[in-house]
Amino acid sequence: MTNQTTVMEFLLLGFSDSRELQILHFMIFLLIYLATLIGNMLIIVALLVDPNLHTPMHFFLGNLSFIDLCYISVTTPKSMVNAITNIRSISFYGCITQLFLVICFMSAELAFLTVMAYDRYIAICQPLRYRLIMSNSTCLQLTVVCWIGSVIYSAFLTGDTFRLHFCGSNIISHFFCDIPQLLKLSCTDTHANEIMLFVCCSVFGSIFIASIFVSYIHIFITVLKMPSVRGKYKTLSTCLPHLTVFSLFMSTTMLTYMRPSLVHSDYHSLIDAVLYSVVPPLINPIIYSLRNKEIKNVDAFSYRGMSLMHMPTAQHQELFATMKGNPCLFILLLLEEMFLRENSAKWKDNVSYSRTLESCVFKVIIQVTEHLQRTQ
């Protein structure tokens, strides 16, 4: 009987051993990560600031943006650190934590995409009962179910994976810990794990796909009955972003987790991993911002109903010019707007006081900008 040493850490190989390609990997992932953070955070801020976006659909969209922020933060920063430092190790318990979080946020994203399809079904097929059915309590209950179900599902698959014994190679041909790659490293029989993984993905994947399929069948039937072409286009434009995101995410996820581990090549595994762990969080805010009229109308400098809109045109142009090199000034305006909204009930009969505050804030911003320009 040969001596076998239990694995205490894993090595994430990433994309390449070449130093030049590692730096390129770092730069690309850094740009993707920053773009994802900015895009999803802007959506969350827009949803918080604009009362017109306080609807069930946008509530679930806010949850989806939060999931995307967490999802990409579990894998991408670690991959960037490994690429730039060339230290590729991850501890055994670190790998457990990473795998748990990846599966949790992945399943939560699929769950919320399914809930968003149900929300669109109610809004389009039963518009008169929409507010009654999609009440605040219903939205909260659906959110809790999605998160609790995702945690339980992730805990089950993570526990089923790490009950195996790892005593051979510790090299993961990936940029994060994932089930198919870990099954290859186990020195015990993984046949039962592969069957369990296939069954779980098949069952829950079928539930998600069937729910969305049924919802959109009813939606398309309702849309075809609409007499107005413009009404059909407007209705479908709210559904296309959701279908696009779901199709990309579901196809790459199912393709990865439902194939036997021996069929996976390292190259295709890396490509699939990027498609379901990096691309969706990046493109979600782009798709929803471009195709969602309400989100699109809330741009970075002119929130609907914002007190800034009461300023004269000349002041608008001057303020926009000062903001180009000072993004922190926009945060000041957001804080002012949130403060005004919080106290709008008190000030609704005192417009002059609100205007005076706006003028003071504007003057402070201009003075701060001029000071920064002189110091530069």
Regarding whether 312 and 278 lie in a shared domain, the answer is no
Average pLDDT over residues 311-322: 48
pLDDT at 245 exceeding the cut of 80: no
Regarding whether 293 and 371 lie in a shared domain, the answer is no
Q: How confident is the model at residue 368 (pLDDT cuts 50, 70, 90)?
A: low
pLDDT at 112: 93
Which residue from 109, 105, 196 is spatially nearest to 154, judged by alpha carbons?
105
Q: How confident is the model at residue 63 (pLDDT cuts 50, 70, 90)?
A: very high
Chain segment 180-193, per-residue pLDDT in tens: 888 888 888 888 88
Regarding whether 347 and 224 lie in a shared domain, the answer is no
Regarding whether 335 and 286 lie in a shared domain, the answer is no
Count of the separate structural domains present in the chain = 2
What is the pTM for the complete model shown?
0.73
Domain of 363 in residue numbering reads as 307-375
**Residue 117 falls within a domain, yes or no?**
yes
**Residue 1 falls within a domain, yes or no?**
no
**Residue 302 falls within a domain, yes or no?**
no
The C-alpha atoms of residue 366 and residue 371 are separated, in whole angstroms, by: 9
Regarding whether 290 and 329 lie in a shared domain, the answer is no
Regarding whether 347 and 267 lie in a shared domain, the answer is no
Q: Do 118 and 211 meet the contact criterion of CB atoms below 8 Å apart?
A: yes
**DSSP state at residue 56:** H
Regarding whether 242 and 343 lie in a shared domain, the answer is no
Q: How confident is the model at residue 373 (pLDDT cuts 50, 70, 90)?
A: low
pLDDT at 156 exceeding the cut of 90: yes
Regarding whether 339 and 266 lie in a shared domain, the answer is no
Regarding whether 218 and 236 lie in a shared domain, the answer is yes
**Residues near 239 by beta carbon (within 8 Å), at least 6 away in sequence:** 120, 124, 216, 219
Regarding whether 180 and 87 lie in a shared domain, the answer is yes
Regarding whether 289 and 164 lie in a shared domain, the answer is yes
Neighbour count for residue 179 (Cβ, 10 Å): 22
The CATH number for 170's domain is 1.20.1070.10
